Amino acid sequence: MKSVNLDLYRTMYLIRKSEETIQKYYAEDQMKTPMHMSMGEEAIVSGVVGALNLDDQVLGTYRSHALYLAKTGETDLFFAEMYGKVTGMAQGKSGSMHLSAPEKGLLCCSAIVASSIPIAMGAAYANKYQKNGKRVAVFFGDGATDEGVFWETVNFSCLKKLPILFVCEDNGFAVHTPREHRHGFSSLHKVVSSFDCNVFEEKSTDPEVIYRTTQKALSTMEQNDKPCFLRLHYYRYLEHVGINEDFDAGYRPKGDYLDWLKLDPIRLQREKLGTIGFSEQQILELEQSVDEQIARSTEFAAESAFADACELHTGVFI
Ligand SMILES: Cc1ncc(C[n+]2csc(CCOP(=O)(O)OP(=O)(O)O)c2C)c(N)n1
Ligand SMILES: [Mg+2]
């Protein structure tokens, strides 16, 4: 288990440092893409992706820096994409909101709320049909459960007993609107439980807890042949879109943030590594290697060229 903890920390540190790097350079206005930051959410993606096999497939939303980094571990294509450069993951045409790495199992991300959920079901249906053993995990926010397509997809997936994990990253808000102003039911957990699926809920910033819950979900799914719904709570540290805090906007008190900050996933996991026997030197070496990777990638991104203007309409729907 020790090496799993180190791997989980590495992934979370990579995500946090990559986003802090975006924060550091965003004001230079070289990164033109809107940013929906993952800060506060790192334990969820690290734990779930850590428990999946490398060839399992994932899909996400416009808030998927964490998902991309956890699934691929790479930062060259990531930062070049943020800078809109031809060396980017989609030659600079997708920006932050449509990340993908199909060869590494990240099938797609989309800015349209809930739109990747039915696509994930299609992938799960194909995997079942082909009997290739792959599982699909689709990540979405609590706001996506306000969309009809979420419920249609859960229904059809349960009917067809598809190997799919519905991972709801629940921060309690759709932009600025809290769940109490959106839901005509008190417990999402209970409503989803009325479908023929396995339901799990965690409110933890410990990636090992998320990792173990996901392992349990995957083994339960294998045993009873039913999809899983994971409702995983976290607190979004920054504004809905952008790199700043927004506690002066009046829709949530800063006190909530300060309470969650006491449980910050990166800090707690670092402390945990110390208590389970990793030396400060080992942790520092890991952090330094990630810092160097990110520094190399941002330099590569800044120095890369933009795509040629004649490429403007290649590979996009027009
Ligand atoms: C179909 C659709 N409706 C509305 C929007 C505008 N919109 C963008 S993000 C968002 C809120 C989504 O909240 P949630 O799913 O909880 O994700 P979070 O931003 O909290 O991660 C909305 C309504 C959209 N992008 N797509
Ligand atoms: Mg939300």
Residue 173 lies in a domain: yes
The residue count of the chain comes to 318
Residue 80 lies in a domain: yes
Residue 314 lies in a domain: no
Planar angle of CA 164, 167, 168, nearest 5 degrees: 145
Residue 186 lies in a domain: yes
**Atom 18, ligand 1: residue with shortest CA distance:** 141
User: How far does the centroid of ligand 2 lie from the alpha carbon of residue 147, in Å?
Assistant: 13
Domain of 168, in residue numbers: 2-306
pLDDT at residue 122, as a whole number:
98
**Atom 11, ligand 1: residue with shortest CA distance:** 174
pLDDT at residue 1, as a whole number:
60
User: Would you say 57 and 126 are in contact if contact means Cβ atoms under 8 Å apart?
Assistant: no
42, 139, 150, 175: which to mutate for ligand 1, most atoms within 8 A of CB? Answer: 175
User: How far does the centroid of ligand 1 lie from the alpha carbon of residue 201, in Å?
Assistant: 22
65, 98, 109, 113: which to mutate for ligand 1, most atoms within 8 A of CB? Answer: 113
Residue 313 lies in a domain: no
User: How far does the centroid of ligand 2 lie from the alpha carbon of residue 176, in Å?
Assistant: 9
Mean pLDDT of successive 10-residue segments in the chain (318 residues)?
A: 90 98 97 97 98 98 98 98 98 97 98 98 98 98 98 98 98 97 94 98 98 98 98 98 97 97 98 97 98 98 96 87
User: How far does the centroid of ligand 1 lie from the alpha carbon of residue 174, in Å?
Assistant: 6
pLDDT at residue 315, as a whole number:
86
Q: What is the DSSP string of 285-318?
A: HHHHHHHHHHHHHHHHHHHSPPPPGGGTTTTS--
Residue 311 lies in a domain: no
Structure tokens at 306: 């933009």
> Which atom belonging to ligand 1 lies closest to the Cα atom of 111?
25
Residue 312 lies in a domain: no
Three-class DSSP category at 165: strand
- Residue 63 beta carbon below 6 angstroms from any ligand 1 atom: yes
The Cα–Cα gap between 85 and 115 comes to 26
Residue 82 is classified by DSSP as H
- Residue 69 beta carbon below 6 angstroms from any ligand 1 atom: no
Residue with tokens 């980094």: 69
pLDDT at residue 173, as a whole number:
98
- Residue 49 beta carbon below 6 angstroms from any ligand 1 atom: no
E strands along 162-227, which residues?
164-170, 173-174, 177-178, 198-202
Which ligand is closest in space to the CA of residue 175? Answer: 1
Planar angle of CA 8, 24, 91, nearest 5 degrees: 80
The Cα–Cα gap between 15 and 96 comes to 14
Residue with tokens 């791997």: 7
pLDDT at residue 318, as a whole number:
77
The Cα–Cα gap between 199 and 96 comes to 30
Residue 138 lies in a domain: yes
> Which atom belonging to ligand 1 lies closest to the Cα atom of 36?
19
Of 114, 123, 122, residue with least CA distance to 61: 114
Task: CATH number of the domain at 125, please.
Answer: 3.40.50.970
- Residue 173 beta carbon below 6 angstroms from any ligand 1 atom: yes
The identity of residue 123, as a single letter, is A
pLDDT at residue 87, as a whole number:
98
> pTM of this prediction?
0.98
User: How far does the centroid of ligand 2 lie from the alpha carbon of residue 193, in Å?
Assistant: 20
User: Would you say 157 and 221 are in contact if contact means Cβ atoms under 8 Å apart?
Assistant: no
Query: How many domains does the structure of the chain reveal?
Result: 1
